[in-house]
């Protein structure tokens, strides 16, 4: 600690420093005297084991091993010590005369005692679970840090697709387990923290390309401190998640947080600095200047002008700065006779790659537990406080995205006239600074100076979030426990946006624009569980839980803002609610949801070989008209208990399960008589969206229901060195809830309808190996997943061949196609994420047809199938090497198949900025079908002038890519002082390079994490490559 005080002190200011000092004082008291001490290691690897229970047999004296596997215990020679640890055989050792007793434990061959965390935080014997569970340790997650911890999960578990949001540090992550199941509903997994479901509403999303406020506001999971995480368990399948009922249709991510442990005392400090730079910036031509038809015209921002010699695309690189992320965390844990506690603090401080974008987060955690009444009752409580400030998150749409003006800047003009401090100029008439940008008025959208956007369209997003949780467990009998939990999670957000006068005139009035939206999101969760675990005779065992839970959610906000360009502020650049003039926008929302569920689960075991697992849950939710019931059943067979295990075949388990889960309805949609909204002047609007009605009858909307089965096996070979886990799954989601445009004359703008059935089937596999080559240990693992998505049915209530999901994109459309439709063009089923647009007309042999003008002929409508946004399969190759004190980890992550449409490339062609448009001019034209065509004519034609007339086929790119996603090299210092238990330094890198990529941009990022905007590249900020250093120490 004292060796390098500046690094830490520089980042931990004020409160942080004081907090650290307090923690240090705790650690001074953490030394314990005892008669026997030693280290517990794993046999073979000699890795220290942390958390091994050490007990003097026949007494209540005991402890657990701390960091480095060290333990200290009062014991007499002749006492028998029992070492127990999950996944290892128990070890009995009699204490001799030496005060040091080092032991090593053997991994239990069958893993019979291994415990996995399942739904509701229930621990289950791993061999009895009839479904896949994949655990990723906190260390693994923290190896290469990201402000949103979910981004660190990519490639580490099979069947998980993670797409990063586009708003820089603190953006949300789009996490999809086993494919998209719901079309307009939620597809994100349920996050469960220590058994309690977390509400994960995203604060705001890029609403599309036409929206003037479309920055990703981050999600709730990204608020957590990655350092607080013990491990993450991914339950990809419905069976594993069935106990969560209606919120678990998309799988569950179980997060176990770090807690104080009895007999353990340590202080951990980690500090990391990460730097990032944009990758995959567009390539521009720099040979031709402003104008059109080869003629100079400085009033337009097209680059179809004359040949120039001063062209430059340096403004692209110049705009971005090196992003910086500093994460400093400290935690302390201690356990003693009274109980145990865990405290942590972390600060995340980031500067995005675009100017003025910053992100700052503070996480405080306090957790404690104690045993009462002769250890019959355990109480535990925790509190998290998070505050987060994001400033000037870049927008992704056409209106306020800084990328729009930047990428489309004519290369013949000199950007230095408008960059840096030149983004504004003084207007002596108005006596104020105004936007300096000659291209504000653009023919198809607004176009603003990117520096102005970042400096003078200011946004602040404040979040203050508290999570309080309390639970008590009463060991009624040695086989029966009753537990109760209460968890309250409250986020208060405040969004404020200040657009200065002379911002985009189509959305901002003459004196500027002001937006203020305070909002509150709350969840109160309560449950009671009665759990029993009993051996019935010699052969049978039964573990069962009966429970009841209540979840209350509340969201409220007030939105005060100027109304587009039609109202503005009383005085220029005076940003206050006082300043809102005339009929400004003022709305208010209050949404409450209540859900109550009764559930039960039972696992019946026979000779530790066959297990039958059943669950049932009956739920009543305020958003659904009728209660609904979800069952699941699973069967597990441990082969190696009947077949004699051998050195080759050390463990084998087969499993099969069937489950039904659902996705409850969104707030309000099942209400046949919803309340009315009001206009700014008090006029009452009608009802735009209604449950489907047919003149007389209105349907009662049902929650979506996913029926799934899965089977698979877990195998281990060569004394557990090689592990293989394979799962096949088949999940049908019925009663898909869509919002569709109502047919003409039906009497509503949109209908909510139980409109269809989607099938997701596929497989997940994971192979891992532990190899030792002398002192080098190599642990490779490969994850593989493949998902096939099919639209099996669309509602018969309507006759349309397809339902439109998104037609607002000016290049492509997203449709859901009815099976058997001609528009499928030979495919048997359409799938979610199918992209449609204009294609080239072709003859029978597939040759493109041309018109008399020499241009390729395009399909009449923009409704031709172009591809699907989702990958065919994913592979991750995770490796770790350790040699003495060095370790090397790298993760190669591949995404194969799927396409992405690029509106950005379309615009670059249209504006004469694309590299190929310059090359074509060098060659005197585009050679098309033997004819030389004028490049301006050709590229404006195929780009459809950046609109729907485009040959969308031309702008569809393969999303296949293989990249070195993570690399870290760590060195653990040998013990050189009694103060340090551990000290290590790591060099880390993220997104280092692509082994393979065809698209001219990173296809893994999307404009928005919204369902309807997948597979679209627009004007979001580019992805980054990052590298950094992490220091961690334990005392």
Region from 39-47, 540-548, 608-616, 892-900 binding other proteins, contact rule CB under 8 A: 540-548
Region from 196-204, 744-752, 1000-1008, 1009-1017 binding other proteins, contact rule CB under 8 A: 744-752
Q: Rounded to whole angstroms, how far apart are CA atoms 419 and 412?
A: 15
Q: Is 692 in the site for other proteins (CB under 8 A)?
A: yes
Closest Cα partner for 687 from 668, 710, 709, 664? 668
Q: Which is nearer to other proteins, 85 or 941 (CB)?
A: 941
Closest Cα partner for 425 from 394, 456, 460? 456
Nearest 5 degrees, angle CA 494-CA 496-CA 502? 175
Under a CB-based contact definition with an 8 Å cutoff, are residues 17 and 79 in contact? no
Q: Is 693 in the site for other proteins (CB under 8 A)?
A: yes
Which residues in 193-222 contact other proteins (CB under 8 A)? none
Which residues in 614-643 contact other proteins (CB under 8 A)? 620-623
Q: Is 801 in the site for other proteins (CB under 8 A)?
A: yes
Q: Which is nearer to other proteins, 77 or 851 (CB)?
A: 851
Q: Which of 22, 102, 576, 679 binds other proteins (CB under 8 A)?
A: 679
Q: Is 247 in the site for other proteins (CB under 8 A)?
A: no
Under a CB-based contact definition with an 8 Å cutoff, are residues 487 and 544 in contact? no
Q: Rounded to whole angstroms, how far apart are CA atoms 610 and 875?
A: 32
Q: Strand 190-193 and strand 252-257: pairing? A: parallel
Per residue, what are the HEC states of 76-95? CCCCEEEEECCCECCEEEEC
Closest Cα partner for 87 from 63, 64, 116, 47? 116
Exposure string of 293-317, with b = 16+ CB inside 10 Å and e = fewer, is eeeebeebbbbbbeebeebbbebbe
The distance from CA 529 to its chain's CA centroid, rounded to whole angstroms, is: 30
Q: Is 695 in the site for other proteins (CB under 8 A)?
A: yes
DSSP string computed for 599-662: EEEEEEEETTTEEEEEEEEEEEETTSSS-EEEEEEEEEEEGGGTSPP-SSEEEEEEEEEEEEEE
Q: Is 546 in the site for other proteins (CB under 8 A)?
A: yes
Length of the chain equals 1035
User: Least separation, in Å, of the C-beta of 699 and other proteins?
Assistant: 10
User: Least separation, in Å, of the C-beta of 694 and other proteins?
Assistant: 4
CA dihedral 1003, 1005, 1011, 1015 (to 10 degrees): -20
Region from 4-12, 455-463, 580-588, 957-965 binding other proteins, contact rule CB under 8 A: 580-588
Which residues in 484-513 contact other proteins (CB under 8 A)? 505-506, 509-510
Region from 108-116, 308-316, 737-745, 978-986 binding other proteins, contact rule CB under 8 A: 737-745
Q: Rounded to whole angstroms, how far apart are CA atoms 6 and 1?
A: 10
DSSP string computed for 485-514: EEEEEEEEEEEEEEEPTTS-TTTS-TT-EE
Which residues in 808-827 contact other proteins (CB under 8 A)? 808
Number of residues that bind other proteins (CB under 8 A): 89
Q: Which of 631, 674, 854, 897 binds other proteins (CB under 8 A)?
A: 674
Q: Is 978 in the site for other proteins (CB under 8 A)?
A: no
Query: Quick one: residue 142, left, alpha or beta (phi over 0 = left, psi -120 to 50 = alpha)?
Result: alpha
Q: Strand 70-73 and strand 36-42: pairing? A: antiparallel
Question: How many Cβ atoms from other residues are within 10 Å of residue 46's Cβ?
Answer: 10
Q: Which of 277, 466, 520, 671 binds other proteins (CB under 8 A)?
A: 671
Which residues in 442-461 contact other proteins (CB under 8 A)? 443-444
Q: Which of 675, 844, 853, 976 binds other proteins (CB under 8 A)?
A: 675
User: Least separation, in Å, of the C-beta of 670 and other proteins?
Assistant: 7
Q: Which is nearer to other proteins, 673 or 978 (CB)?
A: 673
- The dihedral built from the CA positions of residue 288, 290, 291 and 296, taken in this order, carries a sign that is negative
Which residues in 909-948 contact other proteins (CB under 8 A)? 940, 945, 947-948
Region from 354-362, 387-395, 557-565, 628-636 binding other proteins, contact rule CB under 8 A: 557-565
By CB atoms closer than 10 A (0-12, 13-18, 19+), residue 764 is buried
User: Least separation, in Å, of the C-beta of 440 and other proteins?
Assistant: 10
Q: Which of 59, 677, 885, 929 binds other proteins (CB under 8 A)?
A: 677
Q: Which of 610, 949, 969, 992 binds other proteins (CB under 8 A)?
A: 949
User: Least separation, in Å, of the C-beta of 556 and other proteins?
Assistant: 8
Region from 129-137, 151-159, 492-500, 678-686 binding other proteins, contact rule CB under 8 A: 678-686
Q: Which is nearer to other proteins, 77 or 582 (CB)?
A: 582
User: Least separation, in Å, of the C-beta of 932 and other proteins?
Assistant: 23
Q: Is 472 in the site for other proteins (CB under 8 A)?
A: no
User: Least separation, in Å, of the C-beta of 749 and other proteins?
Assistant: 5
DSSP string computed for 149-186: GGGGGTTTSTTEEEEE-SSSTT--EEEEESS---SSS-
DSSP string computed for 319-381: H---EEEEEEEEEEEEE-SS-EEEEEEEEEEEE-SSTT-EEEEEEEEEEEEEEETTTTEEEEE
First to last CA, the chain: 9
Under a CB-based contact definition with an 8 Å cutoff, are residues 49 and 65 in contact? yes
Q: Is 857 in the site for other proteins (CB under 8 A)?
A: no
Q: Is 807 in the site for other proteins (CB under 8 A)?
A: yes
Query: Quick one: residue 684, left, alpha or beta (phi over 0 = left, psi -120 to 50 = alpha)?
Result: beta
Q: Which is nearer to other proteins, 92 or 441 (CB)?
A: 441
Q: Is 776 in the site for other proteins (CB under 8 A)?
A: no
Region from 61-69, 116-124, 224-232, 674-682 binding other proteins, contact rule CB under 8 A: 674-682
Q: Which of 745, 774, 846, 974 binds other proteins (CB under 8 A)?
A: 745
Q: Which of 128, 593, 706, 961 binds other proteins (CB under 8 A)?
A: 593
Structure tokens at 1028: 């950094």
Q: Is 537 in the site for other proteins (CB under 8 A)?
A: no
Q: Which is nearer to other proteins, 646 or 677 (CB)?
A: 677
From residue 269 to residue 308, the character string flagging contacts with other proteins as x (rule: CB under 8 A) and all else as - is: -----------------------x----x-xx--------
Region from 145-153, 355-363, 414-422, 799-807 binding other proteins, contact rule CB under 8 A: 799-807
Which residues in 97-126 contact other proteins (CB under 8 A)? none
User: Least separation, in Å, of the C-beta of 614 and other proteins?
Assistant: 19
Q: Which is nearer to other proteins, 238 or 529 (CB)?
A: 529
Q: Which of 109, 583, 788, 985 binds other proteins (CB under 8 A)?
A: 583
């Amino acid at each position: 600690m004292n060796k390098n005080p500046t690094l830490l002190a520089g980042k931990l200011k004020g409160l942080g420093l004081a907090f650290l000092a307090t923690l240090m004082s705790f650690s001074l008291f953490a030394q314990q005297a005892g008669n026997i001490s030693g280290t517990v290691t794993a046999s073979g690897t000699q890795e220290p084991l942390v958390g091994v229970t050490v007990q003097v047999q026949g007494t209540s004296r005991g402890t657990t091993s701390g960091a480095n596997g060290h333990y200290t215990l009062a014991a007499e020679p002749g006492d028998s010590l029992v070492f127990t640890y999950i996944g290892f055989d128990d070890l009995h050792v009699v204490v001799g005369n030496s005060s040091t007793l080092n032991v090593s434990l053997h991994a239990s061959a069958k893993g019979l005692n291994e415990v996995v965390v399942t739904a509701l935080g229930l621990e289950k014997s791993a061999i009895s679970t009839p479904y896949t569970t994949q655990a990723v340790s906190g260390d693994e997650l923290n190896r290469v840090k990201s402000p949103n911890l979910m981004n660190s999960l990519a490639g580490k578990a099979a069947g998980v697709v993670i797409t990063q949001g586009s708003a820089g540090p603190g953006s949300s992550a789009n996490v999809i387990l086993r494919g998209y199941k719901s079309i307009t509903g939620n597809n994100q997994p349920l996050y469960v923290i220590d058994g309690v479901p977390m509400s994960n509403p995203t604060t705001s999303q890029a609403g599309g390309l036409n929206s003037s406020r479309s920055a990703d506001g981050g999600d709730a999971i990204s608020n957590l401190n990655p350092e607080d995480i013990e491990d993450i368990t991914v339950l990809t399948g419905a069976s594993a998640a069935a106990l969560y009922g209606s919120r678990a249709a998309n799988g569950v991510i179980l997060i176990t947080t770090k807690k104080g442990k009895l007999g353990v005392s340590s202080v951990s400090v980690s500090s990391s600095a990460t730097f990032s730079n944009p990758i995959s910036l567009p390539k521009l031509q720099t040979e031709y200047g402003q104008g059109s038809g080869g003629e100079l015209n400085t009033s337009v921002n097209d680059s179809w002008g004359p040949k120039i010699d001063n062209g430059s695309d340096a403004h692209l690189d110049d705009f971005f700065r090196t992003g910086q992320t500093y994460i400093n965390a400290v935690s302390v844990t201690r356990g003693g006779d009274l109980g145990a506690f865990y405290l942590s603090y972390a600060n995340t401080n980031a500067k995005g790659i675009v100017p003025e974008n910053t992100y700052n987060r503070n996480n405080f955690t306090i957790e404690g537990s104690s045993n009462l009444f002769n250890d019959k009752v355990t109480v535990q409580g925790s509190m998290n406080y998070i505050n987060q400030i994001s400033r000037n998150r870049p927008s992704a749409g056409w209106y306020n995205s800084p990328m729009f003006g930047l990428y489309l800047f004519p290369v013949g003009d000199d950007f230095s006239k408008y960059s840096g401090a030149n983004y504004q100029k003084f207007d002596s008439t108005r006596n104020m600074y105004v936007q300096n940008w000659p291209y504000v008025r653009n023919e198809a959208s607004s176009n603003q100076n990117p520096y102005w956007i970042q400096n003078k369209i200011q946004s602040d997003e404040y979040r203050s979030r508290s999570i309080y949780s309390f639970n008590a467990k009463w060991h009624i009998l040695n086989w029966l426990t009753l537990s109760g939990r209460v968890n309250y999670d409250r986020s208060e957000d405040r969004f404020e946006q200040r657009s200065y006068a002379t911002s985009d005139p189509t959305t901002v009035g003459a004196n500027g624009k002001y937006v203020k939206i305070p909002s509150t999101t709350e969840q109160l969760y309560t449950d009671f569980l009665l759990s029993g675990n009993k051996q019935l005779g010699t052969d049978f065992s039964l573990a069962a839980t009966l429970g009841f839970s209540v979840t209350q959610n509340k969201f409220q906000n007030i939105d005060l803002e100027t109304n587009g360009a039609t109202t503005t502020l009383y005085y220029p650049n005076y940003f206050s609610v006082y300043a809102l003039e005339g009929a400004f926008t003022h709305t208010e929302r209050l949404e409450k949801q209540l859900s109550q569920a009764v559930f039960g689960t039972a696992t019946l075991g026979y000779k530790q070989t066959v297990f039958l697992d059943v669950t049932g849950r009956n739920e009543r939710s305020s958003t659904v008209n009728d209660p609904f019931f979800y069952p699941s059943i699973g069967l597990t067979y441990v082969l190696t208990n009947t077949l004699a295990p051998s050195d080759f075949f050390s463990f084998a388990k087969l499993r099969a399960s069937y489950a039904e889960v659902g996705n409850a309805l969104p707030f309000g949609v099942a209400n046949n008589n919803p309340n009315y909204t009001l206009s700014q002047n008090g006029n009452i609007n009608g009802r735009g969206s209604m449950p489907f009605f047919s003149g007389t009858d209105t349907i009662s909307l049902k929650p979506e229901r996913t029926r799934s089965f899965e089977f698979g096996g877990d195998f281990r070979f060569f004394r557990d060195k090689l592990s293989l886990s394979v799962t096949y799954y088949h999940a049908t989601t019925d009663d898909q809830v869509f919002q569709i445009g109502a047919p003409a004359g039906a009497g509503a703008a949109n209908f909510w309808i139980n409109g269809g059935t989607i099938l997701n089937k596929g497989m997940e596999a994971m192979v891992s190996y532990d190899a030792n080559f002398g002192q080098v240990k190599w642990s490779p693992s490969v994850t593989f997943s493949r998902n096939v998505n099919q639209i099996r049915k669309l509602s018969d209530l309507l006759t349309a061949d397809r339902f439109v999901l998104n037609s607002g994109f000016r290049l492509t459309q997203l449709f859901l196609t009815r099976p058997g439709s001609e528009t499928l063009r030979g495919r048997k089923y359409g799938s979610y994420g199918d992209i449609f647009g204009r294609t080239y007309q072709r003859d029978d042999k597939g040759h493109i047809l041309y018109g008399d003008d020499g241009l390729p002929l395009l399909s009449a409508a923009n409704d031709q199938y172009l591809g699907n946004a989702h990958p065919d399969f994913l592979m991750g190759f995770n490796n770790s090497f350790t040699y003495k004190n060095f370790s090397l980890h790298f993760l190669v992550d591949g995404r194969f198949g799927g396409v992405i449409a690029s509106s950005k490339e379309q615009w670059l062609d249209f504006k004469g900025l694309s590299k190929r448009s310059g090359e074509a001019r060098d060659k005197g034209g585009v050679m098309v079908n033997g004819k030389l065509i004028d490049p301006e004519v050709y590229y404006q034609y195929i780009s459809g002038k950046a609109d729907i007339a485009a040959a969308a086929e031309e702008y569809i790119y393969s999303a296949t890519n293989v990249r070195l996603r993570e690399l870290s090299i760590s060195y653990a210092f040998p013990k050189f002082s009694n103060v340090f238990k551990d000290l290590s330094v790591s060099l880390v890198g993220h997104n280092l390079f692509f082994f393979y990529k065809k698209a001219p941009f990173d296809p893994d990022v999307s404009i928005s994490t919204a369902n309807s905007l997948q597979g679209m590249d627009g004007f979001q900020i580019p992805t980054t490559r990052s590298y950094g250093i992490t220091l961690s120490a334990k005392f």
